Structure 1
Amino acid sequence: MHPLISATDLRDLLARRPETVLLDCSFDLADPTAGERSYAEGHLPGAHYAHLDRDLSGAKTGRNGRHPLRERADYAAWMGRTGIAPGLPVVVYDRQAGMFAVRAWWVLRWMGHDAVALLDGGLQAWTAAGAPLTADVPAPRATAPYPELPPAMPRIDASQLQQRLSEVLVLDARAPERYRGDVEPLDPVAGHIPGAVNRFFKDNLQPDGRFKPADQLKREFDALLPDERQVVHSCGSGVTSCHNLLAMEVAGFGRSRLYAGSWSEWCSEPTRPVSKGPRP
Protein backbone atom coordinates (compact mmCIF):
# COMPACT_ATOMS: atom_id res chain seq x y z
CA MET A 1 0.00 0.00 0.00
CA HIS A 2 1.00 3.61 -0.51
CA PRO A 3 1.86 5.19 2.86
CA LEU A 4 -1.20 7.49 2.59
CA ILE A 5 -4.83 6.81 1.74
CA SER A 6 -7.51 9.45 1.18
CA ALA A 7 -10.92 9.31 2.82
CA THR A 8 -12.53 8.63 -0.56
CA ASP A 9 -10.15 5.80 -1.34
CA LEU A 10 -10.68 4.36 2.13
CA ARG A 11 -14.43 4.22 1.57
CA ASP A 12 -13.78 2.37 -1.70
CA LEU A 13 -11.36 0.00 0.03
CA LEU A 14 -13.88 -0.81 2.76
CA ALA A 15 -16.51 -1.55 0.13
CA ARG A 16 -14.15 -3.97 -1.61
CA ARG A 17 -12.36 -5.32 1.45
CA PRO A 18 -14.71 -5.08 4.45
CA GLU A 19 -12.23 -7.13 6.49
CA THR A 20 -9.82 -4.16 6.47
CA VAL A 21 -8.59 -3.40 9.99
CA LEU A 22 -8.98 0.20 11.18
CA LEU A 23 -6.98 1.54 14.13
CA ASP A 24 -7.90 4.76 15.92
CA CYS A 25 -4.66 6.02 17.51
CA SER A 26 -5.90 9.35 18.90
CA PHE A 27 -3.95 10.47 21.96
CA ASP A 28 -2.91 13.44 24.07
CA LEU A 29 0.49 13.54 25.77
CA ALA A 30 -0.90 15.83 28.48
CA ASP A 31 -3.92 13.59 29.13
CA PRO A 32 -3.30 9.91 28.27
CA THR A 33 -7.01 9.08 28.64
CA ALA A 34 -8.24 11.76 26.20
CA GLY A 35 -7.81 9.72 23.03
CA GLU A 36 -9.73 6.79 24.42
CA ARG A 37 -12.54 9.12 25.50
CA SER A 38 -12.66 10.64 22.03
CA TYR A 39 -12.80 7.16 20.52
CA ALA A 40 -15.75 6.28 22.77
CA GLU A 41 -17.60 9.39 21.62
CA GLY A 42 -17.19 8.62 17.92
CA HIS A 43 -14.84 6.80 15.57
CA LEU A 44 -14.78 5.28 12.09
CA PRO A 45 -17.19 2.33 11.89
CA GLY A 46 -15.34 -0.88 12.71
CA ALA A 47 -12.26 0.84 14.14
CA HIS A 48 -10.41 -0.56 17.14
CA TYR A 49 -8.57 1.70 19.56
CA ALA A 50 -4.75 1.55 19.80
CA HIS A 51 -3.35 3.25 22.91
CA LEU A 52 0.08 4.85 22.55
CA ASP A 53 1.26 3.78 26.01
CA ARG A 54 -0.42 0.38 26.39
CA ASP A 55 -0.37 -0.98 22.84
CA LEU A 56 2.33 0.87 20.91
CA SER A 57 5.00 1.39 23.61
CA GLY A 58 6.88 -0.80 26.04
CA ALA A 59 7.85 -0.50 29.69
CA LYS A 60 9.88 2.55 30.70
CA THR A 61 13.07 2.15 32.72
CA GLY A 62 13.98 5.83 33.09
CA ARG A 63 16.82 5.36 30.61
CA ASN A 64 14.99 4.14 27.49
CA GLY A 65 12.78 7.14 26.69
CA ARG A 66 9.15 8.03 27.23
CA HIS A 67 7.75 5.70 24.53
CA PRO A 68 10.19 2.82 24.07
CA LEU A 69 9.43 0.10 21.60
CA ARG A 70 7.90 -3.13 22.87
CA GLU A 71 9.47 -6.52 22.25
CA ARG A 72 8.58 -7.85 18.82
CA ALA A 73 6.77 -10.82 20.38
CA ASP A 74 4.56 -8.38 22.31
CA TYR A 75 3.68 -6.53 19.11
CA ALA A 76 2.98 -9.83 17.36
CA ALA A 77 0.54 -10.85 20.10
CA TRP A 78 -1.18 -7.42 20.03
CA MET A 79 -1.52 -7.58 16.25
CA GLY A 80 -3.11 -11.01 16.54
CA ARG A 81 -5.56 -9.81 19.19
CA THR A 82 -6.50 -6.92 16.88
CA GLY A 83 -7.13 -9.26 13.95
CA ILE A 84 -4.13 -8.23 11.87
CA ALA A 85 -2.88 -11.06 9.67
CA PRO A 86 -0.41 -11.06 6.76
CA GLY A 87 -1.85 -9.47 3.63
CA LEU A 88 -4.83 -7.94 5.42
CA PRO A 89 -5.16 -4.18 4.75
CA VAL A 90 -4.75 -1.93 7.80
CA VAL A 91 -5.51 1.79 7.93
CA VAL A 92 -4.43 3.89 10.92
CA TYR A 93 -5.65 7.36 11.85
CA ASP A 94 -6.04 9.86 14.67
CA ARG A 95 -7.45 13.32 15.34
CA GLN A 96 -4.02 15.00 15.34
CA ALA A 97 -3.05 14.95 11.64
CA GLY A 98 -1.20 11.66 12.02
CA MET A 99 0.89 12.77 15.01
CA PHE A 100 0.30 9.47 16.85
CA ALA A 101 -1.01 7.16 14.13
CA VAL A 102 2.37 7.32 12.39
CA ARG A 103 3.80 5.30 15.29
CA ALA A 104 1.35 2.47 14.53
CA TRP A 105 2.16 2.74 10.81
CA TRP A 106 5.89 2.39 11.53
CA VAL A 107 5.46 -0.45 14.03
CA LEU A 108 3.38 -2.50 11.60
CA ARG A 109 5.87 -1.89 8.82
CA TRP A 110 8.74 -2.78 11.17
CA MET A 111 6.95 -6.05 11.96
CA GLY A 112 6.90 -6.85 8.24
CA HIS A 113 3.30 -5.83 7.48
CA ASP A 114 3.43 -3.81 4.25
CA ALA A 115 -0.35 -3.52 3.76
CA VAL A 116 -0.76 -0.49 6.05
CA ALA A 117 -1.57 3.15 5.28
CA LEU A 118 -2.22 6.34 7.20
CA LEU A 119 -5.59 8.04 6.61
CA ASP A 120 -4.51 11.37 5.10
CA GLY A 121 -6.10 14.15 7.15
CA GLY A 122 -7.31 11.75 9.83
CA LEU A 123 -10.78 11.61 11.30
CA GLN A 124 -11.45 15.20 10.18
CA ALA A 125 -10.92 14.26 6.53
CA TRP A 126 -13.28 11.32 6.95
CA THR A 127 -16.12 13.46 8.31
CA ALA A 128 -15.41 16.24 5.78
CA ALA A 129 -16.02 13.64 3.06
CA GLY A 130 -19.49 13.06 4.51
CA ALA A 131 -18.62 9.67 5.99
CA PRO A 132 -20.20 8.61 9.30
CA LEU A 133 -18.83 8.02 12.77
CA THR A 134 -20.12 5.57 15.36
CA ALA A 135 -19.78 4.95 19.09
CA ASP A 136 -20.22 1.19 18.59
CA VAL A 137 -17.18 -0.85 19.60
CA PRO A 138 -16.56 -3.74 17.19
CA ALA A 139 -16.23 -7.28 18.43
CA PRO A 140 -12.60 -8.43 18.39
CA ARG A 141 -11.54 -10.55 15.43
CA ALA A 142 -8.64 -12.17 17.19
CA THR A 143 -6.28 -14.36 15.24
CA ALA A 144 -2.92 -16.01 15.88
CA PRO A 145 0.05 -13.83 16.81
CA TYR A 146 1.58 -12.21 13.77
CA PRO A 147 4.27 -14.48 12.30
CA GLU A 148 7.91 -13.70 12.97
CA LEU A 149 9.35 -11.85 9.97
CA PRO A 150 12.64 -9.98 9.55
CA PRO A 151 12.36 -6.31 10.62
CA ALA A 152 11.32 -4.39 7.51
CA MET A 153 12.12 -0.87 8.72
CA PRO A 154 15.69 0.06 9.75
CA ARG A 155 16.43 1.57 13.15
CA ILE A 156 19.41 2.63 15.22
CA ASP A 157 20.00 2.62 18.98
CA ALA A 158 21.61 5.28 21.16
CA SER A 159 25.08 3.73 21.35
CA GLN A 160 25.21 3.16 17.59
CA LEU A 161 24.05 6.71 16.93
CA GLN A 162 26.62 8.22 19.31
CA GLN A 163 29.39 6.34 17.51
CA ARG A 164 28.16 7.47 14.09
CA LEU A 165 27.12 11.09 14.70
CA SER A 166 29.62 12.36 12.12
CA GLU A 167 28.37 9.88 9.50
CA VAL A 168 24.60 10.41 9.68
CA LEU A 169 22.19 13.34 9.51
CA VAL A 170 19.73 13.45 12.42
CA LEU A 171 16.39 14.99 11.51
CA ASP A 172 14.62 16.31 14.64
CA ALA A 173 10.81 16.48 14.33
CA ARG A 174 10.13 18.61 17.43
CA ALA A 175 8.86 22.18 17.42
CA PRO A 176 11.69 24.69 16.75
CA GLU A 177 11.69 26.10 20.29
CA ARG A 178 12.20 22.63 21.75
CA TYR A 179 14.88 21.77 19.20
CA ARG A 180 16.79 24.96 20.07
CA GLY A 181 16.42 24.23 23.79
CA ASP A 182 14.50 27.44 24.51
CA VAL A 183 11.89 25.38 26.36
CA GLU A 184 11.49 21.74 27.34
CA PRO A 185 8.04 20.85 28.71
CA LEU A 186 8.42 17.07 28.72
CA ASP A 187 12.02 16.00 29.30
CA PRO A 188 14.50 16.91 32.08
CA VAL A 189 17.13 18.37 29.73
CA ALA A 190 16.65 20.93 26.95
CA GLY A 191 18.48 20.90 23.64
CA HIS A 192 19.11 18.54 20.74
CA ILE A 193 21.48 15.84 19.52
CA PRO A 194 24.66 17.50 18.17
CA GLY A 195 24.50 18.08 14.42
CA ALA A 196 20.75 17.49 14.22
CA VAL A 197 18.68 19.45 11.70
CA ASN A 198 15.18 20.60 12.64
CA ARG A 199 12.16 19.61 10.55
CA PHE A 200 9.01 20.23 12.59
CA PHE A 201 6.62 17.42 11.68
CA LYS A 202 3.74 19.85 11.17
CA ASP A 203 5.68 21.33 8.23
CA ASN A 204 4.69 18.17 6.32
CA LEU A 205 1.06 19.28 6.34
CA GLN A 206 -1.26 21.54 4.42
CA PRO A 207 -3.66 23.84 6.30
CA ASP A 208 -6.41 21.20 6.17
CA GLY A 209 -4.22 18.64 7.93
CA ARG A 210 -3.47 16.55 4.86
CA PHE A 211 0.09 15.92 3.72
CA LYS A 212 1.65 18.22 1.16
CA PRO A 213 2.02 16.85 -2.39
CA ALA A 214 4.96 14.51 -2.92
CA ASP A 215 6.85 16.92 -5.19
CA GLN A 216 6.60 19.72 -2.63
CA LEU A 217 7.79 17.43 0.17
CA LYS A 218 10.72 16.35 -2.00
CA ARG A 219 11.81 19.94 -2.61
CA GLU A 220 11.60 20.76 1.09
CA PHE A 221 13.53 17.70 2.22
CA ASP A 222 16.11 18.20 -0.54
CA ALA A 223 16.82 21.62 0.96
CA LEU A 224 17.53 19.99 4.34
CA LEU A 225 19.62 17.10 3.05
CA PRO A 226 22.66 18.63 1.33
CA ASP A 227 24.63 15.40 1.00
CA GLU A 228 24.23 11.63 0.85
CA ARG A 229 24.51 10.93 4.57
CA GLN A 230 22.06 8.40 5.95
CA VAL A 231 19.07 10.09 7.59
CA VAL A 232 18.17 9.19 11.17
CA HIS A 233 14.82 10.40 12.49
CA SER A 234 14.44 11.65 16.05
CA CYS A 235 11.92 13.68 18.08
CA GLY A 236 10.96 13.77 21.75
CA SER A 237 10.10 10.10 22.27
CA GLY A 238 10.19 8.35 18.88
CA VAL A 239 6.60 9.09 17.82
CA THR A 240 6.45 12.23 15.65
CA SER A 241 9.81 11.28 14.14
CA CYS A 242 7.79 8.67 12.24
CA HIS A 243 5.84 11.56 10.66
CA ASN A 244 8.98 12.83 8.91
CA LEU A 245 9.96 9.28 8.05
CA LEU A 246 6.60 8.68 6.37
CA ALA A 247 6.75 12.06 4.60
CA MET A 248 10.16 11.20 3.17
CA GLU A 249 8.81 7.90 1.90
CA VAL A 250 5.88 9.73 0.28
CA ALA A 251 8.43 12.06 -1.34
CA GLY A 252 10.30 9.12 -2.85
CA PHE A 253 13.37 8.98 -0.61
CA GLY A 254 12.82 5.37 0.38
CA ARG A 255 13.15 3.99 3.88
CA SER A 256 15.20 6.02 6.33
CA ARG A 257 16.24 5.03 9.83
CA LEU A 258 14.40 5.63 13.14
CA TYR A 259 16.05 6.40 16.47
CA ALA A 260 13.12 5.20 18.56
CA GLY A 261 14.49 6.37 21.92
CA SER A 262 14.89 9.92 20.58
CA TRP A 263 15.62 12.92 22.81
CA SER A 264 13.95 11.50 25.94
CA GLU A 265 16.37 8.56 25.89
CA TRP A 266 19.39 10.52 24.65
CA CYS A 267 19.24 13.11 27.42
CA SER A 268 18.75 10.49 30.16
CA GLU A 269 22.46 9.64 29.98
CA PRO A 270 24.55 12.59 31.30
CA THR A 271 27.65 11.56 29.33
CA ARG A 272 25.95 12.01 25.94
CA PRO A 273 26.66 15.35 24.26
CA VAL A 274 23.95 18.02 24.01
CA SER A 275 23.66 21.05 21.74
CA LYS A 276 21.47 24.15 22.05
CA GLY A 277 20.46 26.99 19.79
CA PRO A 278 19.92 27.00 16.03
CA ARG A 279 22.09 24.83 13.84
CA PRO A 280 25.14 26.76 12.59
Structure 2
Amino acid sequence: MKNPPLITVSELQARLTQNPAKVLICDCRYDLVDSELGLRAYESGHIPGAIYLNLGEVLSGAPNGSNGRHPLPDPDRLAADLAALGVNTDTLIVAYDSPGASYAARLWWCARWVGHSHVAVLDGTIQAWTQAGLPLTTDKPVRRAVGNFKRTTSLTKTVNYADVRSGLGRQDRLIIDGRPEDRFQGLNETLDPKAGHIPGSLSRFSKNNLDEESRFKSPEVLRSEFLRILGRHSPDQVVASCGSGVAACHLLLAMELAGLQGAALYGGSWSEWCAQPDALIETGPARASN
Protein backbone atom coordinates (compact mmCIF):
# COMPACT_ATOMS: atom_id res chain seq x y z
CA MET A 1 0.00 0.00 0.00
CA LYS A 2 1.69 3.19 -1.24
CA ASN A 3 0.23 5.50 1.42
CA PRO A 4 -1.02 3.24 4.22
CA PRO A 5 -3.83 4.74 6.30
CA LEU A 6 -2.22 3.73 9.59
CA ILE A 7 1.12 4.46 11.22
CA THR A 8 2.46 2.80 14.35
CA VAL A 9 4.16 4.57 17.23
CA SER A 10 7.54 3.12 16.24
CA GLU A 11 7.05 4.17 12.62
CA LEU A 12 6.13 7.68 13.72
CA GLN A 13 9.22 7.87 15.93
CA ALA A 14 11.37 6.81 12.99
CA ARG A 15 9.87 9.49 10.75
CA LEU A 16 10.39 12.13 13.42
CA THR A 17 14.00 11.07 13.86
CA GLN A 18 14.61 11.09 10.13
CA ASN A 19 13.04 14.45 9.28
CA PRO A 20 10.70 16.07 11.82
CA ALA A 21 10.06 19.08 9.56
CA LYS A 22 8.23 16.80 7.13
CA VAL A 23 5.81 15.46 9.77
CA LEU A 24 2.83 17.37 11.13
CA ILE A 25 1.15 15.67 14.09
CA CYS A 26 -2.46 16.71 14.66
CA ASP A 27 -4.33 16.13 17.90
CA CYS A 28 -7.96 15.66 16.84
CA ARG A 29 -9.56 14.87 20.19
CA TYR A 30 -13.16 16.05 20.36
CA ASP A 31 -16.48 15.31 22.01
CA LEU A 32 -19.85 15.58 20.26
CA VAL A 33 -21.54 16.88 23.41
CA ASP A 34 -18.73 19.04 24.85
CA SER A 35 -16.96 20.69 21.91
CA GLU A 36 -14.23 22.15 24.16
CA LEU A 37 -13.27 18.83 25.77
CA GLY A 38 -10.68 18.01 23.13
CA LEU A 39 -8.88 21.32 23.51
CA ARG A 40 -8.80 20.92 27.28
CA ALA A 41 -7.35 17.44 26.86
CA TYR A 42 -4.72 18.79 24.46
CA GLU A 43 -3.74 21.53 26.87
CA SER A 44 -3.39 19.03 29.71
CA GLY A 45 -1.00 16.85 27.71
CA HIS A 46 -0.33 15.96 24.07
CA ILE A 47 2.26 14.24 21.91
CA PRO A 48 5.30 16.53 21.59
CA GLY A 49 5.10 18.72 18.51
CA ALA A 50 1.39 18.12 17.96
CA ILE A 51 -0.96 20.94 17.06
CA TYR A 52 -4.63 20.91 18.02
CA LEU A 53 -7.09 20.59 15.15
CA ASN A 54 -10.77 21.09 16.00
CA LEU A 55 -13.44 19.07 14.22
CA GLY A 56 -16.01 21.84 14.36
CA GLU A 57 -13.69 24.63 13.24
CA VAL A 58 -11.43 23.04 10.61
CA LEU A 59 -12.93 19.72 9.52
CA SER A 60 -16.54 20.94 9.24
CA GLY A 61 -18.49 23.66 7.53
CA ALA A 62 -21.16 25.81 9.12
CA PRO A 63 -24.36 23.94 10.03
CA ASN A 64 -27.58 25.66 8.93
CA GLY A 65 -30.16 23.35 10.44
CA SER A 66 -30.63 21.20 7.37
CA ASN A 67 -27.11 20.20 6.26
CA GLY A 68 -26.16 18.08 9.27
CA ARG A 69 -24.28 18.64 12.50
CA HIS A 70 -20.84 18.51 10.88
CA PRO A 71 -21.21 19.28 7.19
CA LEU A 72 -18.10 18.96 5.11
CA PRO A 73 -16.03 22.15 4.95
CA ASP A 74 -15.53 24.09 1.77
CA PRO A 75 -12.69 22.15 0.11
CA ASP A 76 -10.79 25.24 -1.01
CA ARG A 77 -10.96 26.63 2.52
CA LEU A 78 -9.82 23.32 3.97
CA ALA A 79 -6.83 23.17 1.62
CA ALA A 80 -5.90 26.73 2.60
CA ASP A 81 -6.28 25.86 6.29
CA LEU A 82 -3.93 22.90 5.91
CA ALA A 83 -1.37 25.08 4.15
CA ALA A 84 -1.71 27.67 6.93
CA LEU A 85 -0.78 24.94 9.41
CA GLY A 86 2.45 24.36 7.49
CA VAL A 87 1.41 21.50 5.20
CA ASN A 88 3.56 21.11 2.10
CA THR A 89 2.89 18.66 -0.70
CA ASP A 90 5.38 16.22 0.87
CA THR A 91 4.30 16.69 4.51
CA LEU A 92 3.15 13.56 6.31
CA ILE A 93 0.08 14.44 8.36
CA VAL A 94 -0.34 12.12 11.34
CA ALA A 95 -3.70 12.31 13.07
CA TYR A 96 -4.56 10.97 16.51
CA ASP A 97 -7.28 11.35 19.09
CA SER A 98 -8.45 9.40 22.13
CA PRO A 99 -9.14 5.65 21.83
CA GLY A 100 -11.56 5.14 18.98
CA ALA A 101 -9.88 7.26 16.26
CA SER A 102 -13.08 8.54 14.61
CA TYR A 103 -11.98 12.19 14.64
CA ALA A 104 -8.50 11.28 13.44
CA ALA A 105 -10.14 9.28 10.64
CA ARG A 106 -12.11 12.39 9.68
CA LEU A 107 -8.84 14.27 9.14
CA TRP A 108 -7.43 11.31 7.20
CA TRP A 109 -10.45 11.35 4.88
CA CYS A 110 -10.67 15.15 4.56
CA ALA A 111 -6.99 15.55 3.68
CA ARG A 112 -7.36 12.96 0.94
CA TRP A 113 -10.58 14.64 -0.18
CA VAL A 114 -8.62 17.75 -1.11
CA GLY A 115 -5.84 15.70 -2.71
CA HIS A 116 -3.23 15.23 0.02
CA SER A 117 -2.16 11.58 0.01
CA HIS A 118 0.49 11.71 2.74
CA VAL A 119 -1.77 11.28 5.75
CA ALA A 120 -2.14 8.51 8.31
CA VAL A 121 -3.89 7.79 11.60
CA LEU A 122 -1.78 6.81 14.58
CA ASP A 123 -2.90 3.26 15.32
CA GLY A 124 -4.02 3.01 18.93
CA THR A 125 -4.03 6.82 19.07
CA ILE A 126 -2.63 8.67 22.09
CA GLN A 127 -3.13 5.58 24.25
CA ALA A 128 -0.60 3.64 22.17
CA TRP A 129 1.88 6.49 22.60
CA THR A 130 1.64 6.51 26.40
CA GLN A 131 1.57 2.70 26.60
CA ALA A 132 4.92 2.73 24.80
CA GLY A 133 6.28 4.77 27.72
CA LEU A 134 6.59 7.93 25.69
CA PRO A 135 6.01 11.34 27.26
CA LEU A 136 3.31 13.92 26.73
CA THR A 137 3.88 17.64 26.96
CA THR A 138 1.89 20.80 27.59
CA ASP A 139 4.24 22.87 25.42
CA LYS A 140 2.72 24.20 22.23
CA PRO A 141 4.91 23.90 19.12
CA VAL A 142 6.25 26.91 17.27
CA ARG A 143 3.93 27.91 14.46
CA ARG A 144 5.21 26.72 11.10
CA ALA A 145 5.61 28.80 7.97
CA VAL A 146 2.71 28.58 5.55
CA GLY A 147 3.07 25.47 3.41
CA ASN A 148 2.82 25.11 -0.35
CA PHE A 149 -0.06 22.62 -0.40
CA LYS A 150 -2.92 23.48 -2.72
CA ARG A 151 -6.12 21.64 -3.44
CA THR A 152 -5.70 19.06 -6.17
CA THR A 153 -7.51 16.01 -7.54
CA SER A 154 -9.60 14.34 -4.85
CA LEU A 155 -8.62 10.87 -3.68
CA THR A 156 -12.06 10.16 -2.23
CA LYS A 157 -15.71 10.08 -3.26
CA THR A 158 -18.76 11.83 -1.82
CA VAL A 159 -22.52 11.68 -2.31
CA ASN A 160 -25.17 14.16 -1.22
CA TYR A 161 -28.73 13.84 0.03
CA ALA A 162 -30.28 13.86 -3.43
CA ASP A 163 -27.94 11.12 -4.65
CA VAL A 164 -28.58 8.93 -1.61
CA ARG A 165 -32.35 9.39 -1.92
CA SER A 166 -32.35 8.61 -5.64
CA GLY A 167 -30.35 5.46 -4.94
CA LEU A 168 -32.82 3.96 -2.45
CA GLY A 169 -33.82 0.49 -3.57
CA ARG A 170 -31.21 0.27 -6.30
CA GLN A 171 -29.41 -3.04 -6.59
CA ASP A 172 -26.09 -1.25 -7.18
CA ARG A 173 -26.17 0.76 -3.94
CA LEU A 174 -25.34 -0.34 -0.38
CA ILE A 175 -25.43 2.07 2.57
CA ILE A 176 -23.44 1.09 5.66
CA ASP A 177 -24.19 3.00 8.88
CA GLY A 178 -21.38 3.38 11.42
CA ARG A 179 -23.49 4.42 14.45
CA PRO A 180 -24.05 2.17 17.48
CA GLU A 181 -26.78 -0.34 16.70
CA ASP A 182 -29.21 1.06 19.27
CA ARG A 183 -29.15 4.42 17.50
CA PHE A 184 -29.39 2.68 14.13
CA GLN A 185 -32.54 0.94 15.34
CA GLY A 186 -34.00 4.18 16.66
CA LEU A 187 -33.94 3.05 20.29
CA ASN A 188 -31.61 5.60 21.88
CA GLU A 189 -31.25 8.75 19.81
CA THR A 190 -29.77 11.57 21.88
CA LEU A 191 -28.00 13.69 19.26
CA ASP A 192 -30.50 14.17 16.44
CA PRO A 193 -34.20 15.19 16.48
CA LYS A 194 -35.45 12.02 14.77
CA ALA A 195 -34.51 8.40 15.36
CA GLY A 196 -33.95 5.58 12.90
CA HIS A 197 -31.91 4.94 9.81
CA ILE A 198 -31.88 5.46 6.05
CA PRO A 199 -34.12 2.80 4.47
CA GLY A 200 -32.28 -0.29 3.34
CA SER A 201 -29.01 0.55 5.09
CA LEU A 202 -26.96 -1.98 7.02
CA SER A 203 -25.35 -1.56 10.42
CA ARG A 204 -21.63 -1.75 11.16
CA PHE A 205 -20.73 0.04 14.39
CA SER A 206 -17.41 1.75 13.68
CA LYS A 207 -15.87 0.52 16.93
CA ASN A 208 -16.18 -3.01 15.56
CA ASN A 209 -13.23 -2.08 13.34
CA LEU A 210 -11.02 -2.12 16.44
CA ASP A 211 -9.62 -4.85 18.66
CA GLU A 212 -9.71 -4.94 22.45
CA GLU A 213 -6.70 -2.62 22.61
CA SER A 214 -8.43 0.05 20.46
CA ARG A 215 -6.15 -0.71 17.52
CA PHE A 216 -7.51 -1.52 14.10
CA LYS A 217 -8.04 -5.19 13.42
CA SER A 218 -5.73 -6.80 10.89
CA PRO A 219 -6.43 -6.16 7.21
CA GLU A 220 -7.32 -9.83 6.80
CA VAL A 221 -9.92 -9.77 9.57
CA LEU A 222 -11.39 -6.47 8.38
CA ARG A 223 -11.59 -7.75 4.82
CA SER A 224 -13.41 -10.88 5.90
CA GLU A 225 -15.89 -8.93 8.02
CA PHE A 226 -16.62 -6.30 5.38
CA LEU A 227 -16.98 -8.85 2.60
CA ARG A 228 -19.73 -10.52 4.63
CA ILE A 229 -21.53 -7.18 4.79
CA LEU A 230 -20.95 -6.32 1.14
CA GLY A 231 -22.26 -9.63 -0.15
CA ARG A 232 -22.58 -9.27 -3.92
CA HIS A 233 -21.80 -5.54 -3.84
CA SER A 234 -18.44 -4.15 -4.89
CA PRO A 235 -16.72 -1.53 -2.69
CA ASP A 236 -17.44 1.25 -5.20
CA GLN A 237 -21.18 0.66 -4.70
CA VAL A 238 -20.92 1.41 -0.98
CA VAL A 239 -21.93 4.63 0.75
CA ALA A 240 -20.66 5.13 4.31
CA SER A 241 -22.96 7.03 6.65
CA CYS A 242 -23.27 7.62 10.40
CA GLY A 243 -24.63 10.41 12.59
CA SER A 244 -22.79 13.40 11.14
CA GLY A 245 -20.12 12.06 8.79
CA VAL A 246 -17.42 11.31 11.36
CA ALA A 247 -17.70 7.60 12.21
CA ALA A 248 -18.38 7.00 8.52
CA CYS A 249 -14.78 8.08 7.83
CA HIS A 250 -13.71 5.38 10.28
CA LEU A 251 -15.58 2.82 8.15
CA LEU A 252 -13.87 4.11 5.02
CA LEU A 253 -10.44 3.93 6.65
CA ALA A 254 -11.11 0.34 7.71
CA MET A 255 -12.21 -0.56 4.18
CA GLU A 256 -9.08 1.08 2.78
CA LEU A 257 -6.97 -0.93 5.20
CA ALA A 258 -8.81 -4.07 4.09
CA GLY A 259 -8.02 -3.37 0.44
CA LEU A 260 -11.64 -2.50 -0.37
CA GLN A 261 -11.23 0.94 -1.92
CA GLY A 262 -13.77 3.06 -3.74
CA ALA A 263 -16.61 3.60 -1.26
CA ALA A 264 -18.16 7.06 -0.93
CA LEU A 265 -18.90 9.23 2.10
CA TYR A 266 -22.34 10.68 2.74
CA GLY A 267 -21.05 13.76 4.52
CA GLY A 268 -24.36 14.95 5.96
CA SER A 269 -25.27 11.43 7.11
CA TRP A 270 -28.23 10.86 9.43
CA SER A 271 -28.19 14.36 10.91
CA GLU A 272 -28.80 15.82 7.44
CA TRP A 273 -31.10 13.04 6.26
CA CYS A 274 -33.53 13.28 9.17
CA ALA A 275 -33.71 17.08 8.84
CA GLN A 276 -35.25 16.89 5.37
CA PRO A 277 -39.04 17.23 5.25
CA ASP A 278 -39.39 14.45 2.66
CA ALA A 279 -36.90 12.02 4.21
CA LEU A 280 -37.92 8.38 4.41
CA ILE A 281 -37.06 6.75 7.74
CA GLU A 282 -36.85 3.17 8.92
CA THR A 283 -36.56 1.89 12.49
CA GLY A 284 -35.94 -1.55 13.90
CA PRO A 285 -33.16 -4.09 13.94
CA ALA A 286 -30.17 -3.89 11.68
CA ARG A 287 -30.27 -6.13 8.68
CA ALA A 288 -26.65 -7.16 9.19
CA SER A 289 -23.95 -6.48 11.76
CA ASN A 290 -20.64 -7.90 12.97
TM-score of the two chains, using structure 1 as the length reference? 0.97
My pick for the range that moved more, 140-149 or 227-236, is 140-149
- Which one-letter code corresponds to 1:269 in the other structure? Q
| 2:106 maps to 1:103 | yes
| 2:58 maps to 1:55 | yes
Which residue number corresponds to residue 166 of structure 2?
163
Which residue number corresponds to residue 18 of structure 1?
20
Superposed structure 1 runs of 4+ greater than 4 Å apart: none
CA distance in 2, matches of 1:96, 1:77: 29
Among 170, 177, 184, the alignment partner of 1:179 is 184
CA distance in 1, matches of 2:19, 2:270: 40
The residue correspondences of 1:29-44 to structure 2 (distance < 5 A) are 29-44=32-47
The Cα of 1:228 is off from its aligned counterpart by: 2.1
Which residue number corresponds to residue 279 of structure 2?
272
The residue correspondences of 1:102-181 to structure 2 (distance < 5 A) are 102-144=105-147, 146-165=149-168, 166=170, 167-181=172-186
Among 5, 8, 13, the alignment partner of 1:6 is 8
CA distance in 2, matches of 1:247, 1:53: 23
| Residue-pair matches, total | 280
> What percentage of aligned pairs have identical amino acids?
44
Among 245, 248, 266, the alignment partner of 1:241 is 248
| 2:219 maps to 1:217 | no
The Cα of 1:131 is off from its aligned counterpart by: 1.5
Q: Secondary structure at the match of 2:95?
A: strand
CA distance in 2, matches of 1:150, 1:8: 31
- Which one-letter code corresponds to 1:271 in the other structure? D
Q: Secondary structure at the match of 2:159?
A: coil
My pick for the range that moved more, 204-213 or 76-85, is 76-85
| 2:253 maps to 1:251 | no
Alpha-carbon RMSD across the aligned residues, in angstroms, is 1.1
TM-score of the two chains, using structure 2 as the length reference? 0.94
Q: Secondary structure at the match of 1:246?
A: helix
Contact kept? 2:30, 2:55, Cα under 8 Å:
yes
